[in-house]
């Protein structure tokens, strides 16, 4: 028994100590690098959460403002709505979810829409080309307020689906487009006391096309509008810049 088995008790050699140390250092460095990478990657979801939070706050604020528009300060003494179109349009452009909330809150419970008057004479179907051009003008100039469905956003923007003015004498909507319209006006049981601003960036052809499109979409059945009809109204109203009022046009 002169020689012990060389298991546990044998001292480490300096070379081995050095390689152990190297291993420990390497492990520590790896840990630091991994930790650093982990933390910097974790920042991204944090930023995303913050952005969501900010968006949520903004949405809540918009909803609050929107509710104010359609409730107390937004109402006239007689209970009709007075809504700054610009602000309402800005809200809509900003956020569809807010709009959905406003619609739910407003719940106008409209009466049955008045029946459209029978068009005089036979119905003339517009050409596919004119409908296509009209749809493009609609998407550019009316859609934000009167919506893709034509049903508007009661109680902020009235429907132009199966409403009498839309399929009636085209002189009226031509005037609204050229100079704008100020309420009060009752559409589908809801009274709007607001303003449709004059529509910018449309020529006579665009106006004829968009009104033809509107008069033959959304359940409407009105005859096409010609460029000559638009020209005549533009000439007759030349120099006028003030919006038309419903009172002056005999509308209610």
Question: Is residue 130 a contact point for ligand HEC (CB under 6 A)?
Answer: no
User: Cβ neighbours of residue 131 under 8 Å, at least 6 residues apart?
Assistant: 212, 213, 216, 217
Question: Which of 99, 126, 178, 210 lies at the binding interface for ligand HEC (CB under 6 A)?
Answer: 210
CA 58 → CA 52, 64, 91, 97, 246, distances in Å? 10, 10, 11, 12, 36
**Is there a contact between 67 and 103 (Cβ–Cβ < 8 Å)?**
no
CB of 35 to ligand HEC, least distance (A): 55
Question: Is residue 142 a contact point for ligand HEC (CB under 6 A)?
Answer: yes
CB of 184 to ligand HEC, least distance (A): 6
Q: How far apart are CA 88 and CA 157, in angstroms?
A: 9
Toward ligand HEC, which CB reaches closer, 163 or 179? 163
Question: Is residue 177 a contact point for ligand HEC (CB under 6 A)?
Answer: yes
Write out the binding residues for ligand HEC, residues 36-65 only, by CB under 6 A: none
Whether residue 94 is preceded by a cis peptide bond, meaning omega within 30 degrees of 0, is no
CB of 37 to ligand HEC, least distance (A): 51
Question: Which of 193, 216, 223, 229 lies at the binding interface for ligand HEC (CB under 6 A)?
Answer: 193
Q: How far apart are CA 174 and CA 231, in angstroms?
A: 10
Question: Is residue 182 a contact point for ligand HEC (CB under 6 A)?
Answer: yes
Q: How far apart are CA 70 and CA 36, in angstroms?
A: 52
Question: Is residue 178 a contact point for ligand HEC (CB under 6 A)?
Answer: no
What is the binding site for ligand HEC (CB under 6 A)? 85, 89, 141-142, 144-146, 157-160, 163, 165-166, 173, 176-177, 181-183, 185, 187, 192-197, 199, 210, 214, 246
């Amino acid at each position: 028994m002169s020689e012990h088995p060389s298991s546990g008790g044998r001292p480490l050699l300096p070379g081995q100590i050095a390689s152990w140390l190297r291993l420990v250092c390497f492990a520590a460095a790896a840990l630091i690098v991994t930790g650093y990478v982990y933390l910097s990657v974790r920042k991204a979801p944090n930023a995303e959460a913050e952005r969501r939070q900010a968006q949520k706050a903004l949405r809540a604020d918009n909803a609050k403002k929107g509710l104010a528009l359609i409730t107390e300060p937004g109402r006239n003494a007689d209970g009709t709505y007075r809504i700054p179109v610009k602000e309402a349009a800005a809200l809509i452009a900003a956020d569809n979810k807010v709009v959905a909330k406003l619609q739910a809150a407003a719940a106008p419970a409209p009466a049955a829409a008045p029946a459209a008057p029978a068009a005089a004479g036979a119905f003339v179907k517009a050409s596919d080309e004119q409908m296509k051009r009209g749809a493009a003008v609609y998407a550019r100039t009316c859609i934000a307020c009167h919506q893709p469905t034509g049903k508007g956003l009661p109680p902020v923007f009235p429907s132009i689906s199966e409403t009498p003015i839309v399929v009636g004498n085209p002189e009226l909507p031509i005037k609204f487009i050229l100079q704008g319209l100020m309420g009060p006006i009752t559409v589908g049981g809801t009274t709007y006391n607001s303003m449709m601003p004059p529509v910018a960036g449309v020529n006579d052809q665009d106006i004829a096309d968009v009104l033809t499109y509107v008069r033959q979409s959304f359940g409407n059945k009105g005859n096409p509008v010609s460029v000559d009809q638009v020209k005549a109204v533009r000439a007759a109203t030349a120099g006028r810049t003030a919006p038309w009022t419903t009172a002056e046009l005999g509308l209610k």
